Amino acid sequence: MLVNLTEYFDVQGKAHLSIPYESEKFFDGFEDREILDRTPIELDIVPVGDGKLEISGSLSITLKDKCSRCLDDVNVTVPASFTYTVVKPDGYHELSEEEQLFMDGYSLDADALVYNELLMSLPMKVLCRDDCKGLCPVCFINRNHGECGCDTFVPDPRMAAIMDIFNANKEV
Ligand SMILES: [Zn+2]
Ligand SMILES: [Zn+2]
């Protein structure tokens, strides 16, 4: 959502806005993820002099993810909060690229700003629960849902590779 900041540059005191985060999907850098739930973007807008506004905000979204151990579906809530300073485009001073980031004239692209913050808050690894038992390394059954009775002693795969080389050499 574009937020027109024109009036805030010229008033004194703090303003608060609650605006919707409008994106339907969240692109995590690899793929689009469904946004299952979201809070509004809560913005505090404070004039800090020199034609600048300090904008701080927060929101959270809930995404569908997969447990990195057992691959079950997991809902993960991603919170983000940020503080960002914007500069009034007065037409006299050339603004740097950074000062124009997320701004189009007097309008702040809140969705783009928030997307960037959410992306940095995205957890790298998600577990369905802290004690997730993961998949059986033999038959790949999800061990949270039942026991398969496999002999689950599996040597370290790196060790197994070394043993293969060792055995191959022995036969020569
Ligand atoms: Zn799991
Ligand atoms: Zn098994």
Q: Give the whole-number percent of the chain exceeding pLDDT 70.
A: 87
Each residue's pLDDT tens digit, 15-31 = 999 999 988 899 999 99
Ligand 2 centroid, distance to 145 Cα (angstroms) = 12
Which ligand is nearest to the Cα of residue 141, counting in written order?
2
- Sketch the domain layout of the chain as residue ranges: 2-121, 133-172
Ligand 1 centroid, distance to 75 Cα (angstroms) = 12
Ligand 2 centroid, distance to 44 Cα (angstroms) = 54
Which ligand is nearest to the Cα of residue 150, counting in written order?
2
Do residues 85 and 54 touch, judged by C-beta distance below 8 A? yes
Each residue's pLDDT tens digit, 126-156 = 999 999 999 998 999 999 999 898 887 656 6
- CA–centroid distance for 2 within its chain: 21
**Count of other CB atoms within 10 angstroms of residue 26:** 21
Do residues 54 and 121 touch, judged by C-beta distance below 8 A? no
Q: What b/e sequence results for 142-169 when a residue is b if at least 16 CB atoms lie within 10 Å of its CB, and e otherwise?
A: bbbeeeeeeeeeeeeeeeeeeeeeeeee
Ligand 2 centroid, distance to 143 Cα (angstroms) = 8
pLDDT value of residue 172: 47
The verdict on pTM exceeding 0.85 is: no
pLDDT value of residue 156: 67
Ligand 1 centroid, distance to 65 Cα (angstroms) = 11
* Stretch among 32-41, 65-74, 101-110, 147-156 having the lowest mean pLDDT: 147-156
